[in-house]
């Protein structure tokens, strides 16, 4: 699992994503992309284009850490999961 961290201001609605293109084998594609976030917030605009999966995340509460995880399955039935921790604080 790949984990990264970044900051987000309260009430922001920003896009986050992962680029799997260099990890995919030649001719392999992403067939499913599942996003999860804890604690729960609004996710929207999910995209899966040419090995890059992204989603918009609406963080709400200052002082909260949100763990956003993307789990993919590929056309070769390989599964990978990557996470990012969003630290919601005033900037």
**Contact assessment for residue 47 and residue 78, using Cβ atoms and an 8 Å cutoff:** no
Cα distances (Å, whole numbers) of residue 88 to 10, 54, 71: 6, 19, 23
Does pLDDT of 76 surpass 50? yes
Q: pTM of the full predicted structure?
A: 0.86
- Given a contact cutoff of 8 angstroms between Cβ atoms, the answer to whether 35 and 67 are in contact is no
pLDDT over 80 at 89, yes or no: no
Q: Give 46-56 pLDDT, tens digit per residue.
A: 999 999 999 99
| DSSP, res 90 | -
């Amino acid at each position: 699992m790949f984990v990264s961290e970044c900051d987000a201001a309260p009430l922001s609605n920003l896009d986050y994503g992962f680029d799997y293109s260099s990890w995919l084998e030649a001719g392999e594609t992403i067939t499913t992309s599942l996003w999860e976030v804890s604690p729960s917030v609004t996710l929207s605009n999910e995209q899966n284009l040419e090995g890059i999966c992204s989603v918009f995340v609406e963080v709400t509460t200052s002082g909260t850490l949100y763990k956003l995880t993307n789990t993919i399955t590929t056309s070769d039935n390989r599964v990978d999961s990557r996470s990012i921790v969003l630290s919601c604080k005033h900037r």
